Amino acid sequence: MTDLSLSGPVPEVAEDGVWLACIECGETYAPFEEPTYECDACGSLLEVRYDEYHDFDSVAGEGVWRYAPALPVDDGVTIEEGNTPLYEAPSIEAAVDVADLRIKHEGMNPTGSFKDRGMTVGVRVAERIGVGRLACASTGNTSAALSAYGARANKETLVLLPEGNVAAGKLAQASLHGATMLEVEGNFDDCLDIVSELADRGEVYLLNSLNPFRLEGQKTIGLEIIEQFRDQTGSLPDRIVLPVGNAGNTAALHKAFRELVAAGAIEEAEVPTLTGVQAAGAAPMVEAIENGWDSVTRWEDVETRATAIRIGEPVNAPKAIPAIRQTGGTAVAVEDEEITAAQRELAQDGIGVEPASAASVAGLRKLREAGEITADEQVVCLTTGHLLKDPDAAAEAGNDPTTVPNDVDAVLDAAGD
Ligand SMILES: *Cc1c(COP(=O)(O)O)cnc(C)c1O
Ligand SMILES: [Zn+2]
């Protein structure tokens, strides 16, 4: 039985009031002694636990580190991540017909995706444990973030990428920040199998979202949403709609809200409904939710233009499935055409996102049309990465330029009146 209750005595292995606990069997582990990603006893996922849960009063630094008292280390390897905008999106709000719509734009992080929030914590923990080489499998953004934070920490980084399926902006970032980049003749899930094996052999420190410390950093997305939404509207959002790849954010947001409940900062009934969106060509989580399964079945063949969520086996499913169920949420699949249409709609409100991010808005539209989301709801859509991450997708979704002679009248002519 998955236990996400956060209660129980502080175990002997705790250090600074922090430990790791298995979400299935409850086994506990020392947090900073050696790399630990999964439960030795039963193989399930680990979660960071604390002797004390904090509400918003415990302000420390800025951005992610504003929430330092709720994080496993006091400070991070930082490039000033977090504190991203919560935008209004008036035309989408009207077109989709919900009471309130805000866009939490995680593309506004230093490397252009929410992955930075996990890395500022994860790379600091890597330093504390004293590991050598950092590594990840990545559809692109994890590698961009890890290369930047690894560089900042002066650590060697190795990134494994699915050959031919990483967007140009992300490749450029990993390349310039100096990661060792290996393109594997396989998909993301194959890359993760390999890097997990390397981590098991002690060759690398794994910074995929299987790493429970990364999710602690990503938790701050949920904390910021609660604070910003309350500041802007005076209430809390009913629902958060987010794209799902490895389902790390789904798990991390749920943990943020469980901890706020444990700290007495919000009521259980106020926890927003978590609603996951996948691309139709890579939707194992939607399949699991729709069928009432407790685990996902790996999809061997995945395909979507939204390469950031082109994932066949979401590793955080054991956390994310309860997150969706316990908050009364659901999961929905959208076609690539719907994703592109949503990317254009966001652009019309001045918000530039990569395709995977637009999946959240496409999912909102679909569930609203189906009546599963109602007109009285206050909704936040999470947009996970910046438009410039995938310039090819943006150019394809947008207008083509017209070539004109080097002449004022010709320009005016072509521009129209
Ligand atoms: C990593 C990523 C996702 C997937 O997030 P998960 O937490 O793995 O579900 C979605 N969108 C973008 C842009 C990403 O980089
Ligand atoms: Zn266990």
Which protein residue has the closest C-alpha to ligand 1 atom 5? 245
147: confidence class by pLDDT, cuts 50, 70, 90: very high
| 278 & 196 share domain | no
| 316 & 345 share domain | yes
Tell whether residue 416 is among the known ligand binding residues: no
Residue 105 lies in a domain: yes
Residue 130 lies in a domain: yes
Q: Taking all residues of the chain, what is their mean pLDDT, rounded to a whole number?
A: 96
Question: Any idea what the CATH number is for the domain that residue 254 is in?
Answer: 3.40.50.1100
CB 106 within 8 A of CB 385: yes
Q: What is the tens place of the pLDDT at every residue in 76-114?
A: 999 999 999 999 999 999 999 999 999 999 999 999 999
CB 277 within 8 A of CB 334: yes
Q: Could you tell me which residues come within 8 angstroms of residue 117 by beta carbon, excluding any fewer than 6 positions away?
A: 64, 81, 82, 106, 109, 217, 218, 220, 221
Domain boundary among 187, 214, 241: 214
Least confident range from 7-11, 116-120, 145-149, 347-351: namely 7-11
Ligand 1 geometric centre to CA of 126 (Å)? 22
CB 160 within 8 A of CB 184: yes
| 240 & 171 share domain | no
Question: Between these two residues, 102 and 3, which has the higher pLDDT value?
Answer: 102
Helix (H) or strand (E) holding 288: helix 284-291
Q: What is the tens place of the pLDDT at every residue in 289-303?
A: 999 999 999 999 999
| 250 & 173 share domain | no
| 186 & 232 share domain | no
Residue 41 lies in a domain: no
* Residue type (1 letter), 253: L
Assign 309 to helix, strand or coil.
helix
User: Tokens standing for 356?
Assistant: 């995977």
β-strand partners of 240: 274, 380
CB 248 within 8 A of CB 318: no
Which protein residue has the closest C-alpha to ligand 1 atom 1? 308
| 107 & 249 share domain | yes
**Rounded distance, CA 193 to CA 169, Å?**
25
Residue 13 lies in a domain: no
Ligand 2 geometric centre to CA of 243 (Å)? 28
| 138 & 210 share domain | yes
Tell me the pTM.
0.97
* Probe target for ligand 1 pocket from 104, 106, 113, 214, with the most ligand atoms within 8 Å of CB: 113
Tell whether residue 245 is among the known ligand binding residues: yes
Q: What is the tens place of the pLDDT at every residue in 249-286?
A: 999 999 999 999 999 999 999 999 999 999 999 999 99
How do strand 86-88 and strand 100-105 relate by DSSP bridges? antiparallel
| 191 & 311 share domain | no
Query: C-alpha angle 211/229/119, rounded to 5°?
Result: 20
User: Tokens standing for 203?
Assistant: 């060759």
Long-range contacts of 258-267 (CB under 8 A, 24+ apart): 258/4, 258/6, 259/6, 259/50, 259/53, 259/54, 259/70, 259/219, 260/53, 260/55, 260/223, 260/226, 262/6, 262/7, 262/53, 263/53, 263/54, 263/55, 264/55, 265/55, 265/56, 266/226, 266/236
| 103 & 198 share domain | no
* Number of the ligand closest to the Cα of 3: 2
The pLDDT, as a whole number, for residue 222 is 98
The closest of 331, 324, 332 to 257, measured between CA atoms, is: 324
What mean pLDDT is predicted for residues 316-330? 98
Query: How would you classify residue 274: left for phi > 0, otherwise alpha for psi between -120 and 50, otherwise beta?
Result: beta
Would you give the end-to-end CA distance of the chain in angstroms?
A: 67
The closest of 70, 64, 77 to 48, measured between CA atoms, is: 70
The closest of 245, 150, 139, 152 to 195, measured between CA atoms, is: 139
| 200 & 348 share domain | no
Tell whether residue 211 is among the known ligand binding residues: no
Q: What is the tens place of the pLDDT at every residue in 176-208?
A: 999 999 999 999 999 999 999 999 999 999 999
Tell whether residue 385 is among the known ligand binding residues: no
**Rounded distance, CA 335 to CA 342, Å?**
11
Q: Domain range holding 239?
A: 86-112+215-397
What mean pLDDT is predicted for residues 19-27? 97
Ligand 1: list residues with CB < 6 Å.
Answer: 113, 115, 141, 209, 243-249, 308-309, 354, 356-357, 384-385
Residue 10 lies in a domain: no
- Got the DSSP string for 173-237? HHHHTT-EEEEESS-HHHHHHHHHHHHHTTSSEE-STTSHHHHHHHHHHHHHHHHHHHHHHSS--
Ligand 2 geometric centre to CA of 121 (Å)? 24
Ligand 1 geometric centre to CA of 115 (Å)? 8
CB 88 within 8 A of CB 102: yes
Tell whether residue 249 is among the known ligand binding residues: yes
Residue 106 Cα: closest atom of ligand 1: 13
Ligand 2 geometric centre to CA of 45 (Å)? 7
* Probe target for ligand 1 pocket from 106, 115, 219, 246, with the most ligand atoms within 8 Å of CB: 246
Going along 293-347, which residue ranges are E strands? 331-334
Ligand 2 geometric centre to CA of 249 (Å)? 22
Tell whether residue 141 is among the known ligand binding residues: yes
Whole-number CA gyration radius for the chain: 21
Residue 133 lies in a domain: yes
**Rounded distance, CA 189 to CA 211, Å?**
16
58: confidence class by pLDDT, cuts 50, 70, 90: low
Domain count along the chain: 2
| 381 & 247 share domain | yes
| 174 & 321 share domain | no
The pLDDT, as a whole number, for residue 1 is 63
